[in-house]
Amino acid sequence: MLLFGIISNMQRDDTDVVVKLKTESRGVVNPAIVRWIAFIVITMSLVACTVLCILAIWKFTESDAVWRAIATFIVVSIATAIFAFVNEKLG
């Protein structure tokens, strides 16, 4: 019985089964490029906002500039994320 199981396993090793779990994403613009650009834009906005916050803590800028920078960061991040989402879903 054990020998039969070993032989049947050896016969099964010859076939390769490829299963795709995720469908390929497609978009109007290449989704990989859109995600990469979105990452860069959000990261640059976050760095600029952080620098302005540090400058405001040390009294080099006005606190009004910090709130404007934070609001701009939020708007840019949301707009970039929505564009990436819409590109992948409707593309």
In degrees, rounded to 5, the angle at the alpha carbon of residue 45 between the alpha carbons of residues 67 and 52 is 45
Per-residue confidence (pLDDT) for residue 56, from 0 to 100: 87
Cα–Cα distance measured from residue 68 to residue 45, given in angstroms and rounded to the nearest whole number: 12
Q: Which residue has the tokens 């050896």?
A: 10
pLDDT, tens only, 28-56: 889 999 999 999 999 999 999 999 889 88
Mean pLDDT over each residue of the chain, to the nearest integer: 81
* HSE, side-chain direction, 13 A CA sphere, residue 88: 14
Contact 71, 10 (CB under 8 A): no
Q: What is the pLDDT of residue 47?
A: 94
Confidence of residue 10 (pLDDT cuts 50, 70, 90): low
The share of the chain scoring above pLDDT 90, in percent, equals 38
Residue 5 CA, chain-centre distance (Å), reads 46
